[in-house]
Structure 1
Amino acid sequence: MQNKTFSGLFVGQNIVSLKRVDSTNDYLKKQVANSKPLPEGTVILAEDQFAGRGQFNNNWVSQPGKNLTFSILLSPTFLPLSQQFSLNIAISLAINDALCSFIGSECKIKWPNDIFFHDQKLGGVLIENIVRGANWKYSIVGIGLNVNQTSFPGSIKNITSTALITKRELVLNDVLTHLCTAIEKRFGQLKNGELVLQREEYTTKLYRLNTLAAFEREGVRFDAEITGVTEAGLLELKTKDGLRCFGLKELKYI
């Protein structure tokens, strides 16, 4: 284990680098549970994360030493519990901000928080909010980003990396610095109450926005257009039956 910092940053003020760990989110949860908690903004960075998790307990497969797999400790206690999706929006926008400086403006957000380049997945986010009663204690923000990996297991489809997009390798520490800076900026905006503005910007960056596409719900396929997201994070779709809203586990992209 190795500790380092990014000077001048709140996010990344304390970085714990691990050679190998099952899940950076799980590791950070255990550390926070200790009698001496870690400072907010701590980053747990793993060279090899062998049991990473995505949304709905999907596995996140990453080649050791080629990509970024890390978790950040945040305390968005200034947000009411009803606004939990606002943190998701801020983090997704931050990753999009950082990546655009490397790969251009074609980077999009696939609802709720996957990062896509055209029709291929570049990264993903898993946010675990820890709540005690009516109080929001802290959030663990897990991020997986494909950077220098250029080949993936045959069973994994529609996936890419910055190296495949740009035809060159990036310095992982440089990418991490950009990400921490962007997350700090977007988290600060959230703290300043810019929730509506961020949701509007998030909407403009949605993958398949205002484009007729196929979806599936309870085994039934239908065509619809994404028009936005609600305050609670539901996806708004324009269907033949009018505007409808769907939750995280209700909808499947085709």
Structure 2
Amino acid sequence: MWHVTRVAETASTNADVAELARNAAPEGTVLVADHQTAGRGRLDRTWDTPAGTSLTVSFLLRPADVPPARWPWLPLVVGVAVADAVHHVTGISAALKWPNDVLVGDRKLAGILVETVDSADGPAVVAGVGLNVTQGMDQLPAGGISLASAGADVGRDDVLEALGMCLEERYTSWRLAGGDPAAELADAYRHRCATLRRRVRAELPGGAVVEGRAADVDPAGRLVIDTADGPVVVGAGDVVHLRAVTEPDRPSR
């Protein structure tokens, strides 16, 4: 279902595909850049890597047959597809940090940015992935990892092919279910999600903090945190930072 265009350099593949969406580009439009000079993460955080070392790609999706209330699951759909693809080509078991990071161990391998775009053909979704492929550890930011530094000898085209295959499979299944994640997708996400069952601290806009154990992901793709005062539900758009925290000391008996 994908129609891939490659460019040597661009500021942001997500911005470019969003503009294509506004100009009636069809679902399945894909843009891959060898070098992205102004990549963005969630909350407009910047993301940059040396040219030719990462897979930077954006996919145009038009899930018109899925209720918009279920679209917040799309970053999770993409995350599962990325983890599937990494395992397919390398054998590495990547984990997912809610809502939009892919990890190997506790280090970040990939980031995901999913954005909604208004267009003449109705709302669309741009799903961007930035995945570290060939960088050495000296080329990575603190806390980062690449497939090469994790021991995998694989090229960007191999990862792109696997990602396209895995995303098509997961996205098609999600659409056929009307966006309902209750069965296969939700189980696949929970199985891969390193955030669940850990004690976390969610920092919210305005300085509010929610701390407790990450218990589940609800039907809307939000994180359920069990706190001392009961469950609290937070969406990706509500969270400025989400961090694992050390378990409190328990008194000895």
TM-score (norm 2): 0.85
- Cα separation, partners in 2 of 1:105 and 1:65, compared to 1, 3 Å: closer
2:75 counterpart of 1:91 = no
Q: Distance in 1 between matches of 2:169 and 2:146?
A: 24
Q: Is 1:211 matched with 2:198? A: yes
1:139 corresponds to 2:125: yes
Q: Which residue of 2 aligns with 1:236?
A: 224
- Say whether residues 1:157 and 2:169 are aligned partners: no
Amino acid at match of 2:142: K
Give the Å deviation of 1:47.
Answer: 0.4
The 1-side partners of 2:65 and 2:138 are apart by: 40
| CA distance in structure 2 between the partners assigned to 1:205 and 1:243 by the alignment | 22
In the TM superposition, residue 205 of structure 1 has moved relative to its aligned partner by: 1.6
Structure 2 gaps, min length 5: 244-253
SS at match of 1:100: helix
Structure 2 partner of 1:187: 171
Verify the 8 A CA contact 2:33 2:57 in the aligned structure 1. yes
State which of 7, 32, 47 in structure 2 corresponds to 1:18: 7
Shift in alpha-carbon separation, 1:33–1:208, aligned structure 2, 3 A: closer
Judging changes above 3 Å, is the alpha-carbon distance between structure 1 residues 127 and 250 closer, same or farther for their aligned structure 2 residues? closer
Q: Where does residue 113 of structure 1 map in the other structure?
A: 100
Stretch moving more, 239-248 or 41-50 = 239-248
Q: How does 1:22-101 map to 2 (within 5 A)?
A: 22-34=11-23, 37-101=24-88
Cα RMSD (Å) of the superposition?
Answer: 2.3
Secondary structure class of the residue paired with 2:49: coil
2: CA distance, partners of 1:200 / 1:236: 15
Aligned-residue sequence identity (percent) comes to 28
Alignment correspondent of 2:212: 224
Extract unaligned runs of 5+ from structure 1.
1-9
Q: CA deviation at 1:206?
A: 1.3
TM-score of the superposition, structure 1-length normalised? 0.85
Contact 1:76 1:136 in 2 (8 A): no
Counterpart of 1:3 in structure 2 is none
Is the contact between residue 85 and residue 231 of structure 1 (CA under 8 Å) also seen in structure 2?
no
**Distance in 2 between the 1:232 and 1:138 partners?**
18
